[in-house]
Amino acid sequence: MDVEIVGKFLSTLPEDDDHPYRTGPWRPQTTEWRADDLIAVQGEIPADLDGIYLRNTENPLHPALKFYHPFDGDGMLHIVGFRDGKAFYRNRFVRTDGFEAEQEAGGSLWPGLAEPLNVAQVDYGWGARTLMKDASSTDVVVHRGNALTSFYQCGDLYRVDPYSGQTHGKETFNGSFPTPWGVSAHPKVDDRTGEMLFFNYSKQAPYLHYGVVNAAGDLAHYVDVPLPGPRLPHDMAFTRNYAILNDFPIFWDPELLERGLHLPRYHRDMPSRFAVIPRLGTTAQIQWFEADPTYVLHFTNAYEDGDEIVLDGFYQGDPDPADDPTGTKWQRTFRFLALDRMQTRLHRWRLNLKTGACTEEPLSDTISEFGMINAAHSGEPYRYAYAATGKPGWFLFDGLVRHDVQTGNEERISFGDGVYGSETAMAPRVGSSAEDDGYLVTLTTDMNDDASYCLVFDAARIADGPVCKLQLPERISSGTHSTWVAGSELRRWRETDDAAAAVGL
């Protein structure tokens, strides 16, 4: 393995830190690496695996102003690229405005998710002391050859080179970016049309927007989605002809919000609602559907079936888990992050566009979340979803489950004690035709070896274990959202690229 340190940053976190989401598997990194010719410590890199896996991570360098939440850390992108039986690795901080400002200041300037806004040390530009730092640390997608990182509380999209990890400023949509509302995490790229669908939300009316960026990078569509007040949507879905947004009964307490306090509450007597809008439809064309109260962090897919839209996602059986006095103080504080406490299970809703009826059913009894599919089947009928299982009581992924949504069959694998994975992307084999003909790619944090690895599984036989295991230069922090982009797609957007040529891609 050819390894080079390309960046080193000073951390001001305390040496005796005991925060579980800044230590152990969540220990932040301060080093940026370039590693070529990754070594397979198990198996061989498949010669028909061609593309790049990208994963975003919250990675703090400074103590919180008052109380750190694991969603507060700066964005760090991890990149593993494959071609012709070779692989490379890069990791880079996303150079957001907030990251640069705090580097210059030598400490935190903005409040985090669990902190009052009045502790802010800086004005952010949209009104004094009103916003969190846009860390661009939640999600990553690839559109038009560029990786775009995003933040769950809405903000800018940062353009990152998917080969080198270098930040190339903010996405502008050719001058039509929806400032000041920004874009939320989880925009959806439709490989069939080249479009990117997105939403944003706000504490001021209009509380929700939906937009479409076309294949040329222009903001082609942008409309209001009427809501009765501020909401906290986290994901969306789409079909060939429609987009699906949501209004779930977890949102900031209105009375506390008037006093500047951001405390979400679960309103058990309110229904879940889904908004269905034609892909380029108007506000007047939105059709609303009511369902059982819950909260859904992530959807796996949606598609059309006659008059119905089939929508699959992870239903929370207990969106507001009670405090458990038997747990540690940290488990009690962060019980809203543990999959077993929220009881997240794969679920299906059917939205009948003709009758207006909504029916729903569970698809699995297995606790899982962060599901990924073969992106070629996004918005279309599909069969397989690959999801993470969680360590009880903690925000850590301890294994994989392959859901067959047609038969209900499941195949599971554990990473083993002390080993934690990432959101696992599906990488179709070059020339594949079957939905599951390909590989699963994930990154692990192995506390036993004090190391990290990239694992590659056969998507059709995950129980066989990894077909190859590649060692990374350093044990990386645990993290969540990821994406896969085919090498052929990237090369279509860049005929000449020094970073690509340097690693043989």
* pLDDT tens digits, one per residue of 138-193: 999 999 999 999 999 999 999 999 999 999 999 999 999 998 899 999 999 999 99
pLDDT at 451 over 50: yes
Q: Return the H-helix or E-strand segment holding 254.
A: helix 254-258
Q: What is the pTM of this model?
A: 0.96
Confidence of residue 122 (pLDDT cuts 50, 70, 90): confident
How far apart, in whole angstroms, are the C-alpha atoms of residue 444 and residue 421? 4
187-215 in b/e burial notation, b at 16+ Cβ within 10 A? bbbbbeeebbbbbbbbeeeebbbbbbbbe
88 vs 497 pLDDT, higher one:
88
Amino acid 126: pLDDT: 43
Amino acid 128: pLDDT: 36
pLDDT tens sequence across 23-54: 999 999 999 999 999 999 999 999 999 999 99
**Residue by residue, what is the 3-state secondary structure of 295-350?**
CEEEEEEEEEECCEEEEEEEEECCCCCCCCCCCCHHHHHCHHHCHHHHCEEEEEEE
pLDDT (average), residues 309-317: 98
Beta bridge partners of 288: 275
How far apart, in whole angstroms, are the C-alpha atoms of residue 463 and residue 415? 11
pLDDT (average), residues 207-218: 97
**Whether 299 contacts 313, CB under 8 Å:** yes
Contacts of 98 by beta carbon, 8 Å cutoff, 6+ apart: 74, 109, 110, 133, 134, 135
Amino acid 127: pLDDT: 39
How far apart, in whole angstroms, are the C-alpha atoms of residue 19 and residue 64? 11
Per the prediction, the chain carries an average pLDDT of: 94
Confidence of residue 259 (pLDDT cuts 50, 70, 90): confident
Q: Which residue has the tokens 């944003």?
A: 200
Q: Return the H-helix or E-strand segment holding 92.
A: strand 86-93
pLDDT (average), residues 344-367: 98
Q: Which residue has the tokens 């599984």?
A: 457
Nearest to 445, CA basis, from 426, 471, 464, 465: 471
Confidence of residue 252 (pLDDT cuts 50, 70, 90): confident
pLDDT at 283 over 80: yes
Nearest to 130, CA basis, from 260, 224, 225, 19: 260
How far apart, in whole angstroms, are the C-alpha atoms of residue 427 and residue 423? 13
